Structure 1
Amino acid sequence: MNRSDAEILWEVARVLARDAAKVSRVAALPPLLFFTDPARTPRPWETAARLPDGAAVVFRHFGRPDARETALRLREVTAGGGVQLLIGLDDDLAEAVGADGVHLPEHALGQARTLAETHPAWLITGAAHAGSAFDIPGLHARVLSPVFEAGGASSTASPLGLEAFRASAAAASCPVYALGGIDAKNARGLIGSGACGLAGVSAIQAAFSA
């Protein structure tokens, strides 16, 4: 494991979570969210098995036929390591594998209220981008991206930058995670930004690699 990068990311994530907990009504949010991606994280259970106790995995299968098998593997390693598991846009799969909650893309945020009512123990997060409305009933936290220049689906989007992220976090009615282009080199810049934690794909996979 690249301990230096992993330790930096986890340290910053915990600082953000601790500071956010002082002002947020939502307690015990995971400081670090590892987002999976079929192309960029083909074996997400390997990274999930190395995440620290208290982190979380957001499994996004995008309709792949091996979704249930992968979700079960993730549930096995996360349950044994004290890591929460959220399923992206698939509450049926979340129920089937005993996940800890769901993550909703921006176009599906309207499901949050119903999911919160039918699964009160679940953690429910949702995606947000520049100009998004943050007052969504049922959501425990939003994941705002891209903060910095990012890869994947956010590669063509203009980065928010720290000042715009800080303003969005301050105006939000729920805790906000920072996502997009965050790595061990720039993560410390988010301290004091109002973020409740860090989220990532490739950077987290690289930091918590074998």
Structure 2
Amino acid sequence: MTRPYDAQAGLARLAQRVRGGLRTDLPALFALTDPVRTPDPLAFASQLASGSGLVYRHFGAPERFHIGLALAELAHAHGLYLFVSNDLALADAIGAHGMHWPERDLAQAWARRLRGDRRPFTASVHSPAAGLRAARAGIDGVFHSTVFASQSATAGRPLGIHAAAALARHVDTAVYPLGGVNADTGRRLIGLGFAGFCCVGALSRD
């Protein structure tokens, strides 16, 4: 059986191959926490390869502040880039590297940009049109979902590679496929202009 770290280091290397020569300050691999598939965010984060991005999605968990602080300490020690999803107060309190926004809050992200917030912003989008709106809102990295069939309970019908690749060709913002990306499907993303990719399930398996 492949050890978790070996598998995740392999995915990090594959994400770099997908990026190719594209220039961006964001990581090539982003890992997203999930209450069901990653019930222990700290254990999940501790196995990520150095240089990876971690998006903490707490969905209102009562212990989010304590977990967020522990994740910030772990990210600093392990060389991870910590982003907090949809919680500005928590991101500020723990000194997160960046903010992640759901598609519905792109207007709020743009308002933060207008107020001078210069930290890195990522956002999840579910259509090329939303990806264009995200680019106009000052988002640095767009997570285009769902690209492949996904086990996520919230995943819709896969949009396919070509829709995400078309977005990558038409915006200056870094574009990351999300949904069903693993060691097998990730190879199909090489050479299409993506900045890397995002994973949940592929990184949470033992």
- The aligned counterpart of 2:185 is 186
Structure 2 residue identity aligned to 1:61: H
Provide the rounded CA distance (Å) in 1 between the counterparts of 2:174 and 2:153.
Answer: 23
Aligned length: 200
Whether 1:196 aligns to 2:195 is yes
The alpha-carbon deviation at position 160 of structure 1 amounts to 1.6
- The aligned counterpart of 1:24 is none
Provide the rounded CA distance (Å) in 1 between the counterparts of 2:191 and 2:33.
Answer: 27
Superposed CA offset, 1:11-49 (max 9, x none): 12112334321xxxxx32111111011122110111211
Whether 1:138 aligns to 2:138 is yes
SS of equivalent to 1:163: helix
After superposition, the Cα gap between the structure-2 partners of 1:31 and 1:98, relative to the gap in structure 1 and judged at 3 Å, is same
Contact 2:144 2:178 in 1 (8 A): yes
Q: Structure 1 regions of 5+ residues with no counterpart? A: 22-26
Superposed CA offset, 1:84-124 (max 9, x none): 1000011110000110011000000112223334332x110
Contact 1:109 1:136 in 2 (8 A): no
Contact 1:146 1:154 in 2 (8 A): no
SS of equivalent to 2:106: helix
Q: TM-score, normalised by structure 2?
A: 0.90
Provide the rounded CA distance (Å) in 2 between the counterparts of 1:19 and 1:178.
Answer: 17
Q: Structure 2 regions of 5+ residues with no counterpart? A: none
Provide the rounded CA distance (Å) in 2 between the counterparts of 1:3 and 1:49.
Answer: 9
* Structural RMSD (CA): 1.7
SS of equivalent to 1:178: strand
Whether 1:30 aligns to 2:24 is no
Provide the rounded CA distance (Å) in 2 between the counterparts of 1:115 and 1:19.
Answer: 30
Contact 1:112 1:136 in 2 (8 A): no
The alpha-carbon deviation at position 3 of structure 1 amounts to 5.1
- The aligned counterpart of 2:167 is 168
Provide the rounded CA distance (Å) in 2 between the counterparts of 1:175 and 1:131.
Answer: 13
Structure 2 residue identity aligned to 1:179: L
Once the two structures are overlaid, the 10-residue window that deviates more, 87-96 or 4-13, is 4-13
- The aligned counterpart of 1:79 is 76
Whether 1:70 aligns to 2:67 is yes
Whether 1:96 aligns to 2:93 is yes
Q: TM-score, normalised by structure 1?
A: 0.88
Structure 2 residue identity aligned to 1:104: W
SS of equivalent to 2:68: helix
Superposed CA offset, 1:57-104 (max 9, x none): 100111111111111121111110110100001111000011001100
Identity of aligned residues (%): 34
SS of equivalent to 2:22: helix
